[in-house]
């Protein structure tokens, strides 16, 4: 895991990569690559190399990424991105062929939105979302809402659904839980979601002047899905 020995996460990783039929394509925003506490390396360490492929960038054209274009045109490919057009993954998994491919965008919500809407390839696969009320265990990084999940958590839940194996989720979440525990022991603070901070009057940053961003905050406070 390339971390110092006293906070090494290797003991919390599976001894052997998980056997899964679903292949993940992680589309990673360049800003995530430099984050110290990113979760994608932990996800990759849990899976065989041919089942977790990471592509870094903002724009993905068919000319520059022919393999990705072929994946997006494959009828067994899903893209995990919530929205009005998305179907709950639990419903899709029942009828979808196996093995399948799933694309997950790794970045902040605004970065993921930018990547999704500015790359026409990502509108070719069937769009799915997770129907979950679980709070994120990635407590050392601020999330927009209480139920927003990290990339690793999304992948863990999605794979457990696609593979029909709940233990996959538990195995992949194990190193994340250890990471957060180590960081909290060494001075990190629990990060409540922006939604929690706003609702409880604890948000200590200046409110945005941009009307669109201000409206998004109002929606968070009023429990409106954004």
pLDDT at 184: 65
pLDDT at 149: 82
pLDDT per residue as tens digits for the range 123-140: 999 999 998 776 676 655
The closest alpha carbon to 109, from 182, 222, 221, 217, belongs to 217
Give the separation between CA 96 and CA 76, rounded to whole angstroms: 7
Q: Choose from 31-35, 57-61, 89-93, 149-153 the range with maximum mean pLDDT.
A: 57-61
- Cβ atoms within 10 Å of 193's Cβ, excluding its own: 19
pTM score: 0.77
Across the chain, mean pLDDT equals 81
Spell out the alpha helix ranges (H) of 40-79: 40-46, 66-73
Contacts of 148 (CB under 8 A, 6+ apart): 109, 136, 193
Q: Is 161 helix (H, G, I), strand (E, B) or coil?
A: helix
Residue range 149-172: mean pLDDT, rounded: 92
pLDDT at 226: 41
Give the separation between CA 156 and CA 154, rounded to whole angstroms: 5
Q: Which residue has the higher pLDDT, 146 or 14?
A: 14
Which DSSP category does 209 fall into? S
Could you tell me how many residues make up the chain?
Answer: 226
Asked if 106 and 30 touch (Cβ cutoff 8 Å), the reply is: no
Q: Is residue 208 over pLDDT 70? A: no
pLDDT at 76: 92
Residue range 13-41: mean pLDDT, rounded: 88
């Amino acid at each position: 895991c390339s971390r110092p020995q006293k906070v090494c996460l290797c003991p919390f990783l599976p001894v052997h990569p998980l056997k899964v039929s679903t292949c993940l394509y992680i589309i990673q925003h360049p800003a995530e690559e430099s984050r110290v506490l990113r979760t994608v390396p932990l996800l990759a360490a849990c899976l065989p190399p041919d089942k977790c492929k990471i592509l870094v960038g903002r724009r993905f054209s068919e000319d520059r990424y022919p393999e990705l274009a072929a994946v997006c045109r494959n009828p067994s490919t899903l893209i995990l991105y919530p929205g009005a057009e998305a179907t709950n993954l639990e419903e899709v998994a029942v009828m979808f062929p196996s093995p399948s491919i799933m694309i997950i965008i790794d970045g902040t919500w605004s970065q993921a939105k930018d990547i999704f809407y500015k790359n026409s390839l990502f509108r070719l696969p069937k769009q799915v979302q997770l129907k979950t009320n679980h709070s994120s265990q990635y407590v050392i990084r601020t999330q927009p809402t209480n139920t927003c999940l990290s990339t690793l958590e999304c992948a863990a839940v999605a794979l457990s659904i696609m593979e029909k194996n709940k233990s996959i989720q538990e195995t992949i979440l194990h190193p994340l839980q250890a990471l957060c525990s180590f960081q909290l022991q060494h001075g990190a603070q629990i990060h409540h979601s922006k939604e929690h901070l706003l609702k409880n009057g604890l948000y200590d940053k200046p409110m945005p002047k941009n009307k669109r961003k201000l409206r998004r905050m109002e929606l968070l406070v009023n429990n409106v899905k954004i």
